[in-house]
Copies of this chain bind each other. A is one copy, B any other.
Amino acid sequence: MSIAERAAMAAVDWGTTRLRIWLLDADGNVLGERRSDEGLMTVGPGPDRFGPVLEAHLGALGAPAGLAAVVCGMAGARQGWVEAPYVSTPASVGAIADGAVAVPGARRPVYILPGVAQRSPDAPDVMRGEETQIAGIARDLAGRERLVCLPGTHSKWVHTKDAAIAGYRTFLTGELFSLLADHSILRDTLGDARRVAPDSPAFRDALLQTLRDPAALSARLFSIRAGGLLNGLSAGDAAATLSGLLIGTEIASATAALDAGDAGSVILLASGPLGALYAKALTLGGITVEIADADGAARAGLLAAARHLGILSHHDRGTA
């Protein structure tokens, strides 16, 4: 069969800064892929440009007319394509798929999945996109409590009970790293150094120090600057120290804040260099890590939602 014949759906992860589109067959095999920087920040605000951008990419992939697309991420935000109102915690995989909103007037069936809101007065929180990755690893989460770490600009730590999202916390770790590296007094000390190797001794030292005393983050940031002035701290070690401080604070806080005592090991839903850095950090912290691929989880979650919605194309080979 040709790609057009085999294609069962388009799976779309439309985030703040990135757009990723996969053409999938009915078993979730990848027939084609597109990645671009046309995230919400570029395409939005307002709905006008989402449809044409999606059609251009699907055209390039050879997707047949009428093939359904399922979208997760910021495209469903109020300032996105069509708002898909948040589902509240505790949020099951089924409840998330049931919250899908069909885009009116689109050139093909397009469904946007909702995010998940934690409507706690103490710890209000929102996510859009990560819930679909969680749904994609539902099989690994069945029957027990788990703690899932999704590192990034806004890292999420998700506490699941029997594959439903029970609660979660967001950490500004990646954004704080960029702000401090690019715009703060630490800028001169870090220079152009941004990449941190997982085996960096400076990363390890800062991480372990912070895990022992997570409240001291604020006091330790300026020490990076002073270490550059007084001790000749190199740019690379300064970046590694900053990363260790921020990731250490995140891990200490997340494992303390999320009451998931029975969760056992942490599932790290990540990919690339950041995944390797978090795997090392969690291991240094004495935490057992299971690694799952973030892209694969997003595709699996979008496929599961399409099945739940009954919109896979007729080439669907009939998986329940």
* A253 interfacial by beta-carbon distance below 8 Å: yes
Chain A 56-79, CB-CB to B under 8 Å as 1, else 0, gives 000000000000000000000000
* A106 interfacial by beta-carbon distance below 8 Å: no
Task: Name the B residues within 8 Å of A118 (CB-CB).
Answer: 226
Q: Is the CB of A231 within 8 A of B121?
A: yes
Shortest CB-to-CB span from A220 to chain B, Å, is 8
Segment 198-219 of A: residues with Cβ below 8 Å from B: 214-219
Interface class of chain A by DSSP:
helix
* A160 interfacial by beta-carbon distance below 8 Å: no
The CA of A86 and the CA of B231, in the complex, are separated in Å by 13
Q: Is the CB of A170 within 8 A of B219?
A: yes
The CA of A117 and the CA of B176, in the complex, are separated in Å by 27
Q: Is the CB of A218 within 8 A of B218?
A: no
Q: Is the CB of B123 within 8 A of A219?
A: yes
13 additional A-B residue pairs with CB within 8 Å, beyond A124-B227, A126-B229, A172-B185: A117-B226, A117-B229, A119-B230, A123-B223, A125-B223, A154-B185, A170-B226, A171-B218, A171-B222, A172-B222, A215-B215, A217-B218, A219-B254
The CA of A231 and the CA of B119, in the complex, are separated in Å by 8
Shortest CB-to-CB span from A18 to chain B, Å, is 16
Q: Which of A244-252, A268-276, A284-292, A309-317 contacts B (4 or more CB under 8 A)?
A: A244-252
* A243 interfacial by beta-carbon distance below 8 Å: no
Q: Is the CB of B222 within 8 A of A170?
A: yes
Q: Given A123-B223, A231-B124, are A216 and B257 neighbors across the interface (CB < 8 Å)?
A: yes
Q: Given A124-B231, A254-B219, are A172 and B184 neighbors across the interface (CB < 8 Å)?
A: yes
* A169 interfacial by beta-carbon distance below 8 Å: yes
Task: Find A179's partner among B117, B125, B179, B219 (CB 8 Å cutoff).
Answer: B179
Task: Name the B residues within 8 Å of A217 (CB-CB).
Answer: 217-218, 249, 253
Q: Given A226-B126, A229-B126, A230-B119, are A175 and B170 neighbors across the interface (CB < 8 Å)?
A: no
* A139 interfacial by beta-carbon distance below 8 Å: no
Task: Name the B residues within 8 Å of A92 (CB-CB).
Answer: none
The CA of A149 and the CA of B198, in the complex, are separated in Å by 37
A interface, CB within 8 angstroms of B:
86, 117-119, 121, 123-126, 154, 169-173, 175-176, 179-180, 183-185, 214-223, 225-227, 229-231, 246, 249-250, 252-254, 256-257
Task: Name the B residues within 8 Å of A175 (CB-CB).
Answer: 184-185
Q: Is the CB of A246 within 8 A of B218?
A: yes
Q: Is the CB of B126 within 8 A of A169?
A: no
Shortest CB-to-CB span from A206 to chain B, Å, is 11
A-B pairs, top 4 by smallest CB distance, nearest first, are A214-B215, A170-B222, A124-B226, A179-B179
Task: Name the B residues within 8 Å of A221 (CB-CB).
Answer: 171-172
Task: Name the B residues within 8 Å of A230 (CB-CB).
Answer: 86, 117, 119, 124, 126
Shortest CB-to-CB span from A227 to chain B, Å, is 5
Task: Find A169's partner among B124, B179, B219 (CB 8 Å cutoff).
Answer: B219
Q: Given A218-B249, A219-B257, A249-B218, are A125 and B226 neighbors across the interface (CB < 8 Å)?
A: yes
